[in-house]
Amino acid sequence: MIDHRTNVVTEGPARKFARGLPCLLLLASPLAWGDVALYQAAVPLKSTAEADRATAFGEALKVAAVRASGRRDAGDAAAIAAAAADPTRYVQQYSTTTDRMLKVGFDGRAMEQLLQQAGLPLWPSERPTITVLLFVPAIAGGSRAVTAAERPPERLEIERAAQVRGVPVTWPAVTVDAGAARTRAASAGVTGAVLVGTTRAGGYDWTFGHAGQSARGQGGPASGLDLATDTLAARYAPGSTRGLSTVSVRIGGLEGVRPYAALTTYFEGLSLVRSVSLRELSGSTALFELSVRGDLELLRRIFALDGRLTPAPRTEPAAAAQEAPDFVWQP
C-alpha cells in the first residue's frame, strides 16, 4: 500500500518562522523543509473499466512528472506524453480507494531517466515548507488569516494544488496581522518560505518570499500555490536533469565519532546524493567526496535549507578554484 500523505513523508528540523515578528505570529509546526515522495500520485478513477484505469495510470504518471520536475507543463513534454500512453513499465505499486482514487508509486530510477529524456529538471525531495497566510474577510470587519484549525474551501484548494505540485505547506496556529505578514514574506530568509494571500475583487493578491527574493501575482487559491512553487522550482530545479557529478566538500566541526556518524547519515539521506566517500580525516575536519545528481551550487542551496551545514568563515584569500569549499557541521 502506498503511503500517500498529501505532502510530507518525513519532516526536517523544526524552525521558528515567527522570528523577528510579534509573539502573535505563532505558527503550527513550522518547518525548514519537508521530504517529499516525488514519484507518488493520486488521481480520480472514473470507473473500473480497463480503458478508464489505463487513462488514470497515464494521468498519474504526468502528475508524478510535475511533482518531480517542478514544472507545471511537464505532462506536455513529448517523452512524458509518450510514457503516459503506456505507463505500465514505470509503475512500481498501486492501490485504489473506496472513493475511487487511484494511488500509484512509480519507479524512481526509471522516472529520473524519463525526466532526463524529456529535458526536464529533477527537483530534489528536500523542499522548503511553505507557510500559507491566507487572509479572508472577518465577521467583525477587516480580514484575518486562516488558521491550522480551520478548513475553508480556499484552504482545501491550496492543499490539493500542493499535493499535485509536491510541496509541503503549513498554516498559522493563530491569526496574524496582514501588514506584518507581507513584510515577513518580502524579507524571508533561506529557511523561510512565506505565501501571503489577501482578498481582492475576483480573487487574491499573492506575495511569496524565500531566500531574500519575492514574487507577486493575482488569482485564485491554486494560483498562489503555483506562484510559490514556480519560484522555488526556479531556484532548486534549474535547467534539465543532469547526470552524476563528483563534488568534494571539506567539513569542520566534527569533534568525535558521533558528529562524523551523524554527518555521514545526513549526506546519505539527501536525495541528490548517490554515494559518500571519506577521503581525508584530520582532527575535527574531514574531506568527503560525494557523487551527486546536480552540482555544488545546488548542494549549497540544499545545505542552507536547514542550517546544519553552514559555510565556514574564510580567514585567508580564496584558494584555487579546484580546492574543496569548507562547511561547518552544526547539528
Within a domain: residue 14?
no
Instruction: For residues 157 and 23, state if they share a domain.
Output: yes
Instruction: For residues 262 and 294, state if they share a domain.
Output: yes
Instruction: For residues 260 and 318, state if they share a domain.
Output: yes
Average pLDDT of the residues in 58-72: 97
Instruction: For residues 105 and 187, state if they share a domain.
Output: no
Instruction: For residues 165 and 29, state if they share a domain.
Output: yes
Locate 90 and state its grid cell. 514505470
pLDDT the model gives residue 176: 79
Q: In Å, what is the CA distance from 259 to each residue of 19, 305, 312?
A: 27, 19, 16
Instruction: For residues 254 and 217, state if they share a domain.
Output: no
With a cut of 80, say whether residue 111 has pLDDT above it. Answer: yes
Mind giving me the DSSP string for 97-123?
A: -TTSEEEEEE-HHHHHHHHHHHT----
With a cut of 60, say whether residue 115 has pLDDT above it. Answer: yes
Within a domain: residue 313?
yes
Q: Report angle CA 298, 304, 309 to the nearest 5 degrees.
A: 105
Instruction: For residues 27 and 57, state if they share a domain.
Output: no
Q: Which of 290, 281, 295 is nearest to 252 (CA)?
A: 281
CA–CA separation, 319 and 329 (whole Å): 21
The pTM score is 0.82
pLDDT the model gives residue 265: 94
The position carrying cell 510514457 is 83
Top pLDDT among 299 and 175 is at 299
Domain membership of residue 23 as a residue range: 19-35+125-236
What is the CATH classification number for the domain harbouring 260?
3.30.70
- The CB-side HSE value for 142 (13 A sphere, CA atoms) comes to 8
Final residue belonging to a domain, choices 236, 258, 274: 236
Task: Grade residue 189 by pLDDT with cuts at 50, 70 and 90.
Answer: low
CA–CA separation, 244 and 226 (whole Å): 29
Q: Residue 208 gets which letter from DSSP?
A: E
The count of structural domains within the chain is 3
Instruction: For residues 204 and 263, state if they share a domain.
Output: no
Instruction: For residues 143 and 228, state if they share a domain.
Output: yes
Q: Residue 26 gets which letter from DSSP?
A: -
Mean pLDDT of the chain: 84
Locate 323 and state its grid cell. 580546492
Instruction: For residues 29 and 135, state if they share a domain.
Output: yes
With a cut of 50, say whether residue 1 has pLDDT above it. Answer: no
pLDDT the model gives residue 317: 56
Final residue belonging to a domain, choices 118, 144, 160: 118
Within a domain: residue 10?
no
Task: Grade residue 186 by pLDDT with cuts at 50, 70 and 90.
Answer: low
Please, are residues 160 and 166 in contact by the beta-carbon 8 Å criterion? no
With a cut of 80, say whether residue 136 has pLDDT above it. Answer: yes
Task: Grade residue 25 by pLDDT with cuts at 50, 70 and 90.
Answer: very low
With a cut of 90, say whether residue 9 has pLDDT above it. Answer: no
Average pLDDT of the residues in 3-27: 33
Average pLDDT of the residues in 77-101: 95
Percent of the chain scored above 70 by pLDDT? 83
Instruction: For residues 30 and 44, state if they share a domain.
Output: no
Reduced to 3 states (helix: H, G, I; strand: E, B; else coil), residue 277 is strand
pLDDT the model gives residue 326: 81
Instruction: For residues 202 and 132, state if they share a domain.
Output: yes
Length of the chain: 331
Final residue belonging to a domain, choices 94, 118, 142: 118
